[in-house]
Every structure is written in structure tokens, then in C-alpha cells.
């Protein structure tokens, strides 16, 4: 009961706009959502779509819509997460069927920053050749994904472009139609939010 009450309070705070509470919620349900998705990938998407890819997209979709969620009872948030994940799977399957009917080339469905995210975690995690290192790598991946999902969209985009894709502020400005100073300001606010969400772990995003 205590855990349910704590979760409901986190949900209420997240709905009210608390990004740290949202990140904690996403971390709380990360493993359970991954288990939910494992084995649910349709046969037509096997080899094209991984549970981790849908999970990442689900975190982003939840963060975008959290302000509309109504926390009626314990367990409602988990059900909402799973509904969003299942709908993303259905959408991916529909797109694949349309592609096959149109005779288009097979296209992967992975989140665009998946490989960059993995590369980042490889840099910030300890030696992943040991069991302890592998566990820390998985925890780092969870923390980074949950924290990025909890950022406002414009901040998440700048962080992904700068830290995960290696773009300069000039390149980001050109790609997003902003000035270099505007991009620098968004990056500063993003790092400030990451410090609040991740604590010492936000040192990964310095500079």
C-alpha cells in the first residue's frame, strides 16, 4: 500500500509539471515495461524492431502527454504506459503492412538515436566486461533515457543533437532555425534540468 501511495504522489507531481518526479516514474516502470514488450513484437517486425526501441519511444510519448493523465487509482499509470506501448507496436505493424503492399524497401523502425545512446552509455559506464560493470551499464541506460524523456521537447532535441549526435551549436542552429545563442541557452537550461533530475549523474552532460 505504501508503495502505491508513493507512486500516486509521484504521478500527481509529474502531471503538475515536476520533471524529476516524471523521471523517477519512468525509472520505476522501466523494467516492467521492457518485460511487457518482450515477446509482443509481431512476427512481421521481427528483426526490424526491438522491445528497447518501442520502450524508448514510449517514454518520449508519455513525457509529452503526462499533463493530460488523470491519476484515478494505483496501477492506472502502469496501464497507461502499456496502452501507449501497445499502440506504438500496432502503428509500427500497420506501417510495415503498407510498405509491403506498396513494394517499398524494408525500413528499420529503431529510434533514431538508439546507437548514439548506446555509445554514450558505453563512455559513461564502468567496465562492462564484469557482471558489476554490465549491471551499471544497464542502470546508466535507464537513467539517461528516463532523464532525456523527462526534458521539454526542445531541450531534449538539443541534448540529443549535441551530446548524442556530435553536432556543434552552429549545426544545431542551422538545422532547427534558431540562432546559436538561442541553442546555447536551451542547452544551458537542459543541463540545469538534468542536474535536478539526475544529480551527480548529470556530470555526463558537461560543457
User: What pLDDT, in 10s, does the model give residues 89-139?
Assistant: 888 888 877 777 776 544 444 444 444 555 555 544 444 556 665 666 677
What is Dmax (Cα atoms) for the chain? 54
Q: What was the pLDDT predicted at 53?
A: 79
Q: What is the pLDDT of residue 1?
A: 44
pLDDT at 143 (0 to 100)? 82
* Closest C-alpha among 132, 147, 119 to residue 203: 147
169 pLDDT band, cuts 50/70/90, is: very high
CATH 1.10.10.60 fits 114-200, yes or no: no
Are 190 and 159 in contact, with CB atoms under 8 Å apart?
yes
**Fold of the domain built from segment(s) 2-102:** Rna Polymerase Sigma Factor; Chain: A (1.10.1740)
pLDDT one-digit tens code per residue, 39-78: 888 777 777 777 887 888 899 999 999 999 988 887 899 9
pTM for the complete prediction? 0.69
**Residue 59 in grid coordinates:** 517514454
Per domain, the residue ranges of the chain are 2-102, 114-200
Amino acid at each position: 500500500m505504501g508503495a502505491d501511495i508513493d507512486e500516486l504522489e509521484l504521478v500527481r507531481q509529474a502531471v503538475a509539471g515536476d520533471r524529476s518526479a516524471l523521471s523517477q516514474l519512468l525509472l520505476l516502470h522501466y523494467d516492467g515495461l521492457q518485460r511487457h514488450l518482450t515477446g509482443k513484437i509481431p512476427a512481421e517486425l521481427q528483426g526490424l524492431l526491438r522491445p528497447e526501441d518501442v520502450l524508448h519511444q514510449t517514454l518520449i510519448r508519455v513525457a509529452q502527454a503526462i499533463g493530460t493523465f488523470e491519476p484515478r487509482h494505483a496501477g492506472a499509470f502502469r496501464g497507461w504506459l502499456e496502452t501507449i506501448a501497445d499502440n506504438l507496436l500496432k502503428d509500427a505493424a500497420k506501417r510495415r503492412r503498407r510498405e509491403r503492399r506498396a513494394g517499398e524497401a524494408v525500413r528499420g523502425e529503431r529510434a533514431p538515436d538508439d546507437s548514439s545512446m548506446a555509445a554514450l552509455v558505453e563512455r559513461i559506464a564502468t567496465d562492462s566486461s564484469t557482471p558489476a560493470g554490465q549491471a551499471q551499464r544497464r542502470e546508466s541506460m535507464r537513467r539517461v533515457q528516463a532523464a532525456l524523456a523527462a526534458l521539454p521537447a526542445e531541450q531534449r532535441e538539443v541534448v540529443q543533437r549535441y551530446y548524442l549526435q556530435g553536432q556543434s551549436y552552429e549545426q544545431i542552429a542551422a538545422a532547427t532555425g534558431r540562432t546559436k545563442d538561442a541553442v546555447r541557452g536551451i542547452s544551458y537550461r537542459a543541463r540545469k534540468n538534468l542536474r535536478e533530475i539526475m544529480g551527480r549523474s548529470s556530470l555526463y552532460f558537461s560543457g
